[in-house]
Chains A and B, each alone.
Chain A
Amino acid sequence: MTLASQIEIVAPRRRFRGFSKLAGNRGALVGGAIVIFFVVLAVFAPLLATHDPFASAFTSVRKPPSAEFLLGTDEIGRDIFSRLLFGARASLMAGVVSVAIALAIGLPLGLVAGYFGGLVDGAISRVIDALLAIPSLILAIALAATLGPSLMNAMLAIGIAATPIFVRLTRGQVLAVKTEDYVEGARAIGLPHGLIIMRYILPNVLSPVVVQATITIATAIIAEASLSFLGLGQQPPNPSWGSMLNTAKNFMTQAPWMSIFPGGAIFLVVLGFNLLGDGLRDALDPRDH
């Protein structure tokens, strides 16, 4: 051991440099800003909306963007800007709720599989392998079609389809952490398995899971848009970016604004979550100084 490395060990280090690292990452800042921007839009949709998102007007069908209709109107004269705002609620909620579902199922399964190993691990891992063999969007479509079309069922379907990746990731992290001396130390003071998993394993496997969750929100938003586009998600007349695109595709040449704005919104929000996830990964990476 060199002198320099010993000095580093002796000198108390700052507790967590993640936030400052995150702040120094331009991509993460832009991503975070985009995400916050859309969250604000969704939360304050009723205040920001210029029109009732459900009100149709036959006098203003498929109007291009103007001072009155900021982003134009759709095929039955509803204001696209207002519908986009309310659609953001569906999209963001779908992203967050389905990832929460995936985490709620995947994290415990991964912890248990990794920690106990053996038969438990074998059983869990085989089921997960089987799920992974099916493309997740196909799985989500099948589930949503079986459960019946609604936003809640779409979120459930997307959540289940996204579960395997969290099980795998968590299990792998647990395998690495459970051989650490401090886990042996926890056993040596006689702590029960449940407590060891919750206090000694979980906090130390969480960073990569958080990164994965952020990136999976982006995937889930696309999945929700896809399901809504196919009519399996948000049901009309409730606005959703995917279902807006679905009707807009019929008017691509006559009223391009009908597809450009919802499509652009999906693009931006997904980009935001991906940038934020990448930034988090860099900030939480212990190898990187």
Chain B
Amino acid sequence: MTTTEPLLSVENFSLGFGSKIDLIDGISFSVEPGKTLCLVGESGCGKSVTSLALMGLLATTPARITGGKARFDGKDLFTLSERARADLRGNDIAMIFQEPMTSLNPSMTIGQQIVEGILRHKPVSRDAAQARALEMLGLVRMPAPEKRFHAYPHQLSGGMRQRAMIAMALANAPKLLIADEPTTALDVTIQAQILALVSRLQAETGTAMILITHDLSVVAEVADHVAVMYAGRIVEVGSVDDIFSDPQHPYTLGLFGSVPSIGRRSSTLATIEGSVPPLEHMPRGCRFATRCPFADQRCMDEVPPDYEPKAGHRVACWYAPLEAHVRAA
């Protein structure tokens, strides 16, 4: 990792639903300006709720932050007033949602919705906001932007709606973009187009991005850094090269094993045995211990310390570095 001051640095962030055990248990990660961090993990591991917490949108959910800090651009997000947070939302921090089909207001035109977000944050005239919105629709390669500006969401295809969402999110040139599985609801060719678009816009605007996904092919394509989450903890974090060429955590390995690849099939697809235990039965030590092929009693009882195979690559496992143990075995 370079020495650039991170744009966002999350430290020891915990979040719970009011029970004794926190769903998200002390996670830390950082995002540098203009870089992409991919948050990877299976459904329910806390990726989306983390992004909602960063946006300050937890109020509608039963989840509450129970500890930690999130420094964004010199401010601690979790201690800001609701008003200050609303000023950040859509301005410095923007978000793209998973479902383009339902994330746009059916009773407003695409153009109006983008204009609304610009007028909320920038002291510009409605005409200027409209010009900006039109420019954004062009930037996201919306076909016939002048026409789409006056279109209602139901008149657009899924891919076009996601383009509109991206235009809305980037209209105020945010410093950080949080994209919560922006391509899961789209078919594969559109996925590729959208990803290419986001990466290109990111390169042009210097926006940092947190991309939440469970799709490793997406990670390989766009990530600078990767944080692998399991059951509310980050088990491994590092540059995309570190994670792909030298995965250390057994869960990360398991994830790679479960991706089908094109070519001669050598064996059945690897799976990670079992399922995530419910929160109240979570082991006290490593949360992956119940499913890990290497786990012993120590893994069950004691939280593993962070091991750093190299600068910027952290893994939370008693058995790291893994190869030492694999060879020994």
Chain A contact residues, CB within 8 Å of chain B: 6, 9-10, 12-13, 15, 178-182, 184-192, 195, 199-200, 203-204
B184 contacts chain A at the CB level, 8 A cutoff: no
CB neighbors of A among B69-108 (8 A):
86-91, 94-95, 97, 99, 101-108
Is B117's CB within 8 Å of the partner chain A?
yes
Query: What separation, in Å, do the CA atoms of A139 and B319 have in the docked complex?
Result: 76
**Contact present for A189 and B117 (CB under 8 Å):** yes
Interface contact B101-A9, CB-CB below 8 Å: yes
With both chains docked as a complex, state the minimum distance between the C-beta of A187 and any C-beta of chain B, in angstroms: 6
Q: Is the interface of A mostly helix, strand, loop or mixed?
A: helix
What's the nearest-Cβ distance from chain B to residue A204, in Å? 6
Complex: A200 Cα to B86 Cα, angstroms: 17
- B110-151 near A? 1/0 per residue, CB < 8 Å: 000000110011000000000000000000000000000001
Q: Does B158 contact A (CB under 8 A)?
A: yes
A6 and chain B: residue at smallest CB distance: B187
**Docked-complex contact A199 and B116, CB < 8 angstroms:** yes
Chain B residue numbers with a CB within 8 Å of A184 are: 57, 60, 97, 103
Least Cβ–Cβ distance between A133 and chain B, in angstroms: 32
> Is there contact, CB below 8 Å, between B102 and A182?
yes
Complex interface: chain A residues within 8 A of B307 (CB): none
| Residues in chain A near residue B8, CB distance under 8 A | none
Across chains A and B, which 5 residue pairs bring their CB atoms closest together, nearest first?
A189-B90, A190-B89, A203-B107, A189-B117, A190-B90
Within the complex, what minimum Cβ distance (angstroms) separates B9 from chain A?
22
Q: Which of A6, A181, A189, A203 contacts B120, CB < 8 Å? A: A189
A-B contacts, 11 of them at CB < 8 A, read A6-B187, A10-B158, A15-B152, A181-B102, A181-B103, A182-B106, A188-B95, A189-B90, A189-B116, A190-B91, A203-B105
Q: Which residues of A contact B168 (CB under 8 A)?
A: 185, 189
Inside 8 A of A199's CB, which chain B residues have their CB? 105, 108, 116
Residues of B with Cβ closer than 8 Å to A?
A: 55, 57, 60, 86-91, 94-95, 97, 99, 101-108, 116-117, 120-121, 151-152, 154-158, 165, 168-169, 187
Quick check: B89 and A188 within 8 Å, CB to CB? yes
User: Which residues in B have their C-beta under 8 angstroms from that of A15?
Assistant: 152, 154-155
Say how far A87's CB is from chain B's closest CB, in angstroms. 39
Q: Which single member of B86, B105, B116, B187 contacts A204 (CB below 8 Å)? A: B105
Which residue of chain A has its CB nearest to the CB of B156? A12
The answer to whether B87 and A190 have CB atoms under 8 Å apart is: yes
CA distance A6 to B188 in the complex (A): 13
Q: By the criterion CB–CB under 8 Å, are B157 and A10 in contact? A: yes
User: Which residues of chain B are near A6, meaning CB under 8 Å?
Assistant: 187
Would you call A190 and B60 a contact (CB within 8 A)? no
B117 adjacent to A182 (CB under 8 Å): no
Whether B117 pairs with A191 at a CB distance below 8 angstroms is yes
Give the docked Cα–Cα distance between A184 and B117 (Å): 13
Q: Are B88 and A181 in contact (CB under 8 A)?
A: no
Measured in the bound complex, the distance between the Cα atoms of B105 and A187 in whole Å is: 12
* A192 to B195 alpha-carbon distance, docked (Å): 31
If A187-B57, A191-B116, A204-B106 touch, whether A181 touches B97 (CB-CB below 8 Å) is yes
Q: A10-B157, A180-B102, A191-B117 are in contact. List 8 more A-B contacts (CB 8 A).
A: A15-B152, A182-B103, A186-B105, A188-B89, A189-B117, A189-B168, A189-B169, A203-B108
Residue of B nearest to A180 (CB): B102
Q: How far is the CB of A227 from chain B (nearest CB, A)?
A: 38
Q: Which residues of A contact B157 (CB under 8 A)?
A: 9-10
Of chain A, the residue at the smallest CB distance from B178 is A188
> How many angstroms between the C-alpha atoms of A3 and B28 in the bound complex?
42
Given contacts A184-B97, A188-B95, contact A13 B107 (CB under 8 A): no
- A190–B56 CA distance with the chains assembled, in angstroms: 10
Given known contacts A181-B99, A195-B116, A188 and B106 CB-to-CB distance under 8 angstroms:
no
A12 to B165, CA, bound (A): 18
Residues from chain B with Cβ under 8 Å of A10 in the complex: 157-158
Choose from B87, B116, B121, B154 the contact partner of A13 (Cβ within 8 Å). Answer: B154
Chain A min CB distance to B64 (Å): 15
Question: Which of B88, B94, B116 counts the most A-chain CB atoms under 10 A from its CB?
Answer: B116
- Report yes or no: B97 in contact with A200, Cβ–Cβ below 8 A: no
Chain A residues whose C-beta falls within 8 Å of the C-beta of B151 in the assembled complex = 12
A9 CA to B162 CA, complexed, in Å? 13
Minimal Cβ-Cβ distance residue in A for B85: A190
Distance in angstroms from A121 CB to nearest chain B CB is 14
- Contacts A181-B97, A182-B103, A199-B116; A188 near B90 (Cβ below 8 A): yes
CB distance from A9 to the nearest CB of B (A): 6
